[in-house]
């Protein structure tokens, strides 16, 4: 197959190519400049998410306009393209149904407002801070600094927990104490720990619930309210304080154990020592 390149590289095509490249460069530069300037003048109190959506809308509109200008510059007749749009749409739709699903899911996610950029969310076994909400996916930054991309379609169909939506959180600590312990005393100690830690909120009041007669001990739930920014600090200090207080008061935190009986309730298991 012989293709005559000299016919293609004429002065006219060269001029057109340069003009298209200039349009592309200037168009993209103008789009980004407008997006940047709008971002600067948006009210400070607006959420990062709202600002990002406005930014993206400006960018995508700018790209579409640049694309249309280039098409007209190339003197491509759009009528047949639009005429064939039905068939093309069908083909593209079948080929990119996942992507379209993600885009549509993205709109639902944004309108639903179940989370915003900067919120800490848990999705299945993944927890992290929402880093960006994009056309096809959301990106979260985990606490060990990994970036996870989650397709919008998956996000919308999975149970999502927003850990930082509300300004305060209840921190639940499950504690187990031995059956022999005085539960009134244990409750008093836990209550004191919650009240003496200045970062544990006075109100809503801490809650202590005797949960279960467990296999190794009695399980108690201590629920302490904290400001979300203090969550980890309080968790660590309260854990230490519980351990310290229980050690001081001689309260046993049981490890899993099994009691064996040799037929009679109070008799020990007979042990024979051979010399």
Partner 1 sequence: MYPFFGKYQMMPGETRIFSSGNFSLGVKREKEGWILLYPDCFREGENTNPNFSLGEYFQTGKSNSLILSPALPVKPLVFKGSQLHVSPTQKLTFFLTIPITIQVYFSKILPENLLKELPAKRLSDTWFGEAFDGEPAFSLGSEFFRKMDQLEIPSFHAVCPVTIFNNSSILLEVERLIIRVENMAIYRKEEKLISSQVAIEYKGKEVISSASFNYSKIHHGEKAEIVTRPRIEASTNLLKINFHFIKNLYRQEL
Site residues, partner 1 (CB under 8 A) = 166-168, 195, 198-204, 207, 209, 225-227, 230
Q: How far is CA 253 from CA 158, 217, 218, in A?
A: 37, 8, 10
Q: Which of 153, 132, 131 is nearest to 142 (CA)?
A: 131
Residue 93 or 198: the one with the smaller Cβ distance to partner 1 is: 198
Residue 189 or 226: the one with the smaller Cβ distance to partner 1 is: 226
CB neighbours of 228 closer than 8 A, spacing ≥ 6?
Answer: 163, 164, 166, 167, 168, 169
State the Cα–Cα distance between residues 49 and 38, nearest whole angstrom.
14
Q: How far is CA 234 from CA 124, 170, 191, 205, in A?
A: 25, 11, 15, 15
Smallest distance, partner 1 to C-beta of residue 33, A: 34
Smallest distance, partner 1 to C-beta of residue 204, A: 5
Backbone angles phi, psi at 177, to 5 degrees: -125, 155
Smallest distance, partner 1 to C-beta of residue 48, A: 20
Residue 159 or 203: the one with the smaller Cβ distance to partner 1 is: 203
Smallest distance, partner 1 to C-beta of residue 220, A: 15
Residue 89 or 118: the one with the smaller Cβ distance to partner 1 is: 118
Q: Which two tokens stand for residue 105?
A: 């899911």
Residue 172 or 247: the one with the smaller Cβ distance to partner 1 is: 172
> Do 260 and 270 touch, CB atoms closer than 8 A?
no
Smallest distance, partner 1 to C-beta of residue 216, A: 25
């Amino acid at each position: 197959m012989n293709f005559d390149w000299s016919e293609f590289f004429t002065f006219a095509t060269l001029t057109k190519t340069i003009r298209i490249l200039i349009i592309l460069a200037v168009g993209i530069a103008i789009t980004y400049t407008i997006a940047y300037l709008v971002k600067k003048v948006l009210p400070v109190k607006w959420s990062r998410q709202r600002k990002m959506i406005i930014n993206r809308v400006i960018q995508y509109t700018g790209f579409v306009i640049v694309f249309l200008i280039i098409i007209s510059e190339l003197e491509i007749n759009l009528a047949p393209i639009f005429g064939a749009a039905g068939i093309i749409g069908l083909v593209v739709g079948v080929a990119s149904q996942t992507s379209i699903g993600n885009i549509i899911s993205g709109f639902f996610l944004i309108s639903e407002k179940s989370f915003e950029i900067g919120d800490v969310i848990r999705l299945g076994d993944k927890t992290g801070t929402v880093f960006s909400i994009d056309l096809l996916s959301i990106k979260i930054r985990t606490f060990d600094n990994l970036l996870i991309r989650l397709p919008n379609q998956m996000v919308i169909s999975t149970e999502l927990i927003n850990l930082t939506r509300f300004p305060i959180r209840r921190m639940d600590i499950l504690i187990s104490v031995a059956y022999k312990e005085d539960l009134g005393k244990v409750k008093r100690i836990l209550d004191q720990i919650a009240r003496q830690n200045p970062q544990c909120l006075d109100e809503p009041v801490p809650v202590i619930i005797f949960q279960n007669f467990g296999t190794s001990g009695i399980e108690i739930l201590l629920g302490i309210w904290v400001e979300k920014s203090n969550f980890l600090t309080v968790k660590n200090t309260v854990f230490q304080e519980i351990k310290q207080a229980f050690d001081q008061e001689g309260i046993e935190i049981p490890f899993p154990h099994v009691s064996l009986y040799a037929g009679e309730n109070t008799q020990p298991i007979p042990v024979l020592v051979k010399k």
